[in-house]
Structure formats: structure tokens, C-alpha cells
Amino acid sequence: MSKEAAALNFPKEAKEIYNKYLKYNVSSESFLFGKGTGAFTENKWVWVPLSKDTYTSGEIIKDQGDKVTVRTKENEEVAVLKTKLDYINPPKFDGVEDCAQLSHLNEAAVLHNLKKRYDADIIYTYSGLFLVVLNPYKRLPIYNPEIVEIYKGKRKNEMAPHVFAISDAAYRSMLNDRLNQSILITGESGAGKTENTKKVIQYMASIAGRVGGGGKLEEQVLQANPILESFGNAKTTRNNNSSRFGKFIEIQFNTAGFIAGASIISYLLEKSRVVRQAQNERTFHIFYQVCNGVSGDLRKTLKLDEPSKFNFINKSGCYTVKGIDDKDEFAATLKAMDIMAFTSKEKEDVLHVVAGILHLGNVQFEVSFGEGSAVNNRTAIEAAADVLGIDVAKLDLGLCKPRIKAGNEFVQTHLNVEKAAYSREALSKALYHRLFLWIVKKINDQLAQDKKSSFIGVLDISGFGTIFFLWKMF
Ligand SMILES: Nc1ncnc2c1ncn2[C@@H]1O[C@H](COP(=O)(O)OP(=O)(O)O)[C@@H](O)[C@H]1O
Ligand SMILES: [Mg+2]
């Protein structure tokens, strides 16, 4: 069935969304230079490079061997080397769904095509086997259930580009070829990786939900994310909800093709953020959630205060994020933990670790015993020990006078102020890292339910650098 014919059969609401936000409508009016499609002359209209990654369009008006004179869109005449120019594609290629179809395939043409589509609110475009996604920075109705419905079971070339089409193709290939599939989502920070990862999971949960399961497992698979984001995401200058770890999510299916569970592998949590953040950035969301959201007796037990009172988080000049209410988010985190079957005791223990780290950050040292150090503020170390449930004398010794292994023996050292502060930070980072790994394990235990027969993996990780790093690691 052709795309146009398929679209005719969509339910009304789905059709409207599809035609507005997914299917590019070629406008016959203007093409380039506002000249209209009729004026186009093949091999005369060219892209002229301005600087790195930017181009203007123009028309060749004089050919002088190696060079040509081009009249640009801005009505300037410039002499350009022929080798620096790229041809503009004929109007029929305007806004094509797959950049690989462009008859003149060059960087300017690809950027132009993506821009044309983006200007029309269309964020998905294919480039051969890849799906290119641009961040719309606004909510589009393209992930509604009725859109899931129209992508279900369709071939990739029957439908406009969408992460659902990629997801569906992976699902069908897994069932038909009986082979595990993987989707790699990469790009720079703030590009939309995590949002699209979530859409893949949402799609799988809705098309491959178990019959009679009541949706519990599917709900759990979806609720893993809010927990991971509270503990692993932070506000940066580029993204208010930036993932500070990489993750590989395996969505598992049984022989009948229904979701059987999921598992998550996390990579490279940015531990240093626990103790230090760049200006205008925050540490992991959970710290502000705990400071703002914990109330009543537990607030007293954890000796909580506002974020500005804690040294690990009060140096970067940023406590709040536009559009994020930490108190509401805290409630959502707890709810997600309930769905994930964390017990009350486990939830409380987690909060003890988070608060304990904040108190550790307030422990200060002064010069003592000659070159050595001593804690100069009993309140902070007592709070830390109490909240973490450890012996304060041992914590004190561990920070200022740790025993280290020298050869076959343990000897007691006496750290100077700088080194004691460093050990306080190292301890805090290690505690948080273990907490994070424990949470991931807890989620995995809960999501490992049925026997899996195959899986679709989704890798959400920024930058090719990291991918090569991981590749070398395996
Ligand atoms: N498809 C989308 N629809 C709506 N908003 C989006 C979309 N993709 C990204 N965003 C917005 O951009 C922000 C950053 O996206 P995110 O997926 O966290 O980036 P990345 O994981 O690549 O760093 C999101 O918090 C969201 O506000
Ligand atoms: Mg992310």
C-alpha cells in the first residue's frame, strides 16, 4: 500500500497529527531565494560555504574555468572555486524523508533538508539506515496512543520517519529472524537521546504487553526510568535533565513475543558530581528532592535542611531548575520505588545514604598533631555517622587516620588536612556510586521475571568517544 493510501485509513485524530507533524507537505510556493520552483536550473543553483557548517544558496552567473561567479541569495556576487561548491537538489527533493534519496548528497543539502522539515515541526528524518532526530524543545502530539496504533506492524517505508517505526522494525526482525536486536541512540548532550529511549520503551510496552498480566510488568519497565533519572540525572548548562551515566536497557520477550522483563546495565556514572559541580549546574536531582520533599519525623531523623546549608551542593549557585518542582519529583520517585517493590525499609535506607552524604560534605578538618588533621566540627561528623548508622569514632579515624596496607601489614597513617578532605570526598563518591549500583540491581531483580527468549537492547549513551571506550573495554 502506498503511504498516501495507508494514511487514508487512519482514524481521524491520528490522521490529523500524522499529516501535520510527521508527513512533510511540500509547499509549491517558495523554494530557495524565494524564487519559486519554476526558476530552478539544474547545475546552476549551488550551495556556497560561508563558514564551518553554514552555507548560503546562489546561482552561477558566470563560468571561468576553475572558478565561477555566483549571485547569492543575499544578492552579492562572489567568485568561488568550483571545488568548494555543491549542487542544490531539484525542488522535487524538497523535504525528502530519507536524506539518502537526495540526488546531490552533500552536507549542505542534508542540513537544508533537515532544517526544512524542522521548520515544519517534523523532527524525524531517515538517513539510510539511521534515523536522525532533532530536539523540538516542545511537546508534540506524536507519541499519543493513536500514533502508536498506526505504526504498529507497518513496514518502515510505508510510514513517515518515527522512532516508533524503528522500534517496530526491531520488534518484527526479532520475531521473524529470531535474533536479538539493538538500537543505538547517540548524540551530544541535550539532543534528545533519553527522551527517545523512553519512547522506544513506551512503544514496546504498548505493542507487546502480556495478555492478562494487568500491565504490571509493563508499568514497572516504564517506572525504572524516573528512579534512574532521580539518582543519575542532573541539571547541566546544556540540559535540565542530563543523564550523567550511560545505560543499556534490554527489553526481554518470551517465545510468544510478549514482554518478559527487562534489565539495565549502567556505565560511567559521573561520581565527581556528588561533591562538586560547575557553576549553574546541580548535583543529582535526588539531593534536592530529599532536602525539599522529606518531612515530619524522618526530616528530623535525617537532620535535613535546605540545600544552601550543605557544602557539597552550595557552591555552584544553583538550587532550582525552571519547570522542575523537587518536592513533586520526590513524591514521584517514591511512587516509582513502590511500583518497583522497594520496601519501606529499603526506601528509608536509601534516603539515609543520600542525607548521610550531605552531612559528610559538611565535615571540616583543622591542623592537629603537628602535620596531621582533626575534625573541627563535631556536629557534622556526628550527624553523618548517626544518619549513616555507623560509629562516629570509627568514621573519625577512617577520615583522619586511616589504616593502610603496607606490604603484609596494616599501619595507621595520619593524613594532613588536604588529604583528609580528599578522603571525605572519596568516601562520599564511593558511597553514592554503590547506592546507585544497588538501585540498578534492585530494579533488575524486580524486572527479571519470565524466562526470556530474545531481547531488544537500547543503548542511550552520549558521544562516540564513550562508545569507543566501551568497545575497547569489552
Ligand atoms: N522528542 C522530544 N519531545 C519533546 N521534548 C524533547 C524531545 N527530545 C528532547 N526534548 C527536551 O529536551 C530535553 C533534553 O533531552 P534529553 O533526551 O534529556 O537529552 P540527552 O539525553 O540527549 O542529553 C528534555 O528534557 C526535553 O525537555
Ligand atoms: Mg540523556
Task: Judge whether residue 213 has pLDDT over 70.
Answer: no
Contacts of 383 by beta carbon, 8 Å cutoff, 6+ apart: 303, 359, 362
Higher pLDDT, 461 or 285: 285
From the CB of 202, is ligand 1 less than 6 Å away?
Answer: no
Q: pLDDT at position 53, please?
A: 81
Q: pLDDT at position 384, please?
A: 98
Question: Any idea which residue has 526558476 for its cell?
Answer: 39
Hey, what amino acid is at 199?
K
Hey, what amino acid is at 247?
K
Read off the pLDDT of residues 176-187 as tens digits, 9 standing for 90 and up. 999 999 999 999
From the CB of 242, is ligand 1 less than 6 Å away?
Answer: yes
Q: Is 50 left (phi over 0), alpha (psi -120 to 50) or beta?
A: alpha
Task: Judge whether residue 285 has pLDDT over 80.
Answer: yes
Segment 384-393 mean pLDDT: 98
CB 148 within 8 A of CB 14: no
Distance in Å, CA 323 to ligand 1 centroid: 14
Burial label, 211 (beta-carbon count in 10 A; 0-12, 13-18, 19+): exposed
What spatial distance separates the first Cα and last Cα of the chain, rounded to whole Å?
44
Question: Ligand 1 pocket check: which of 139, 144, 195 to mutate, most ligand atoms within 8 Å of Cβ?
Answer: 195
CA distance 109 to 114: 9
Q: Tell which atom from ligand 1 comes closest to the C-alpha of 189.
A: 23
Cell of 17: 497529527
From the CB of 134, is ligand 1 less than 6 Å away?
Answer: no
Cell of 81: 572555486
Kindly indicate the confidence band of residue 38, based on its pLDDT and cuts at 50, 70 and 90. confident
CA distance 233 to 448: 24
Bridge partners, 338 (sequence order): none
Q: pLDDT at position 422, please?
A: 97
Read off the pLDDT of residues 416-451 as tens digits, 9 standing for 90 and up. 999 999 999 999 999 999 999 999 999 999 998 777
Q: Which residues neighbour ligand 2 (ion) by CB within 5 Å?
A: 193-194, 243
Q: How far is CA 449 from the centre of its chain?
A: 26
From the CB of 158, is ligand 1 less than 6 Å away?
Answer: no
**Closest to 109 measured CA to CA, from 161, 60, 38, 48:** 48
From the CB of 235, is ligand 1 less than 6 Å away?
Answer: no
CA distance 4 to 18: 11
Task: Judge whether residue 463 has pLDDT over 80.
Answer: no
Task: Judge whether residue 11 has pLDDT over 90.
Answer: yes
The ranges of the chain annotated as CATH 3.40.850.10 are: 3-24+96-271+450-473
From the CB of 423, is ligand 1 less than 6 Å away?
Answer: no
Distance in Å, CA 432 to ligand 1 centroid: 26
CA distance 48 to 63: 15
Q: pLDDT at position 209, please?
A: 85
The ranges of the chain annotated as CATH 2.30.30.360 are: 45-88
Read off the pLDDT of residues 294-329 as tens digits, 9 standing for 90 and up. 999 999 999 999 999 999 999 999 999 999 999 999
Q: pLDDT at position 301, please?
A: 98
Long-range contacts of 411-420 (CB under 8 A, 24+ apart): 414/369, 414/371, 414/372, 414/373, 415/372, 415/373, 416/367, 416/371, 416/372, 416/373, 417/365, 417/366, 417/367, 417/373, 419/373, 420/365, 420/373
Segment 24-47 mean pLDDT: 77
CA distance 358 to 310: 6
Kindly indicate the confidence band of residue 98, based on its pLDDT and cuts at 50, 70 and 90. very high
pLDDT more than 70, % of the chain? 93
Question: Any idea which residue has 494487568 for its cell?
Answer: 214
CB-side neighbour CA atoms (13 Å) of 145? 2
Q: pLDDT at position 410, please?
A: 93
Measured CA to CA in angstroms, residue 382 lies from 191, 258, 359, 422 at distances of: 44, 52, 9, 19
Provide the greatest CA pair distance for the chain: 88
List the residue whose alpha carbon is closest to atom 26 of ligand 1.
137
Q: Tell which atom from ligand 1 comes closest to the C-alpha of 198.
A: 17
Q: Tell which atom from ligand 1 comes closest to the C-alpha of 460.
A: 21
Q: Is 33 left (phi over 0), alpha (psi -120 to 50) or beta?
A: left
Task: Judge whether residue 29 has pLDDT over 60.
Answer: no
Distance in Å, CA 421 to ligand 2 centroid: 31
Read off the pLDDT of residues 343-359 as tens digits, 9 standing for 90 and up. 999 999 999 999 999 99
Does the domain spanning 45-88 belong to CATH 2.30.30.360? yes
- Computed over every residue of the chain, the mean pLDDT equals 92
Q: pLDDT at position 105, please?
A: 96
Q: Tell which atom from ligand 1 comes closest to the C-alpha of 185.
A: 22
Q: pLDDT at position 424, please?
A: 97
Kindly indicate the confidence band of residue 175, based on its pLDDT and cuts at 50, 70 and 90. very high
Q: pLDDT at position 309, please?
A: 98
Spell out the SS3 assignment of the chain: CCHHHHHHCCCHHHHHHHHHHHCCCCCCCCCCCCCCHHHCCCCCEEEEEEECCEEEEEEEEEEECCEEEEEECCCCEEEEEHHHCEECCCHHHCCCCEHHHCCCCCHHHHHHHHHHHHHCCCCEEEECCEEEECCCCCCCHHHCHHHHHHHCCCCHHHCCCCHHHHHHHHHHHHHHHCCCEEEEECCCCCCCHHHHHHHHHHHHHHHCCCCCCCCHHHHHHHHHHHHHHHHHEECCCCCCCEECCEEEEEEEECCCCCEEEEEEEEECCCHHHHCCCCCCCCCEHHHHHHHHHCCHHHHHHCCCCCHHHCCCCCCCCCCCECCECHHHHHHHHHHHHHHCCCCHHHHHHHHHHHHHHHHHHCCCEEECCCCCEEECCHHHHHHHHHHHCCCHHHHHHHHHCCEEEECCEEEECCCCHHHHHHHHHHHHHHHHHHHHHHHHHHHHHHHECCCCCEEEEEEECCCHHHHHHHHHHC
Kindly indicate the confidence band of residue 474, based on its pLDDT and cuts at 50, 70 and 90. low
Distance in Å, CA 350 to ligand 1 centroid: 28
Contacts of 144 by beta carbon, 8 Å cutoff, 6+ apart: 14, 17
Higher pLDDT, 470 or 35: 35
Q: pLDDT at position 287, please?
A: 98
Q: pLDDT at position 30, please?
A: 59
Question: Any idea which residue has 542544490 for its cell?
Answer: 88
pLDDT more than 90, % of the chain? 83
CATH architecture of structural domain 3-24+96-271+450-473:
3-Layer(aba) Sandwich (3.40)
Segment 105-124 mean pLDDT: 95
Task: Judge whether residue 78 has pLDDT over 90.
Answer: yes
Read off the pLDDT of residues 126-163 as tens digits, 9 standing for 90 and up. 999 999 999 999 999 999 999 999 999 999 999 999 99
User: What's this model's pTM, rounded to 2 decimal places?
Assistant: 0.91
Distance in Å, CA 194 to ligand 2 centroid: 4
Q: pLDDT at position 51, please?
A: 87
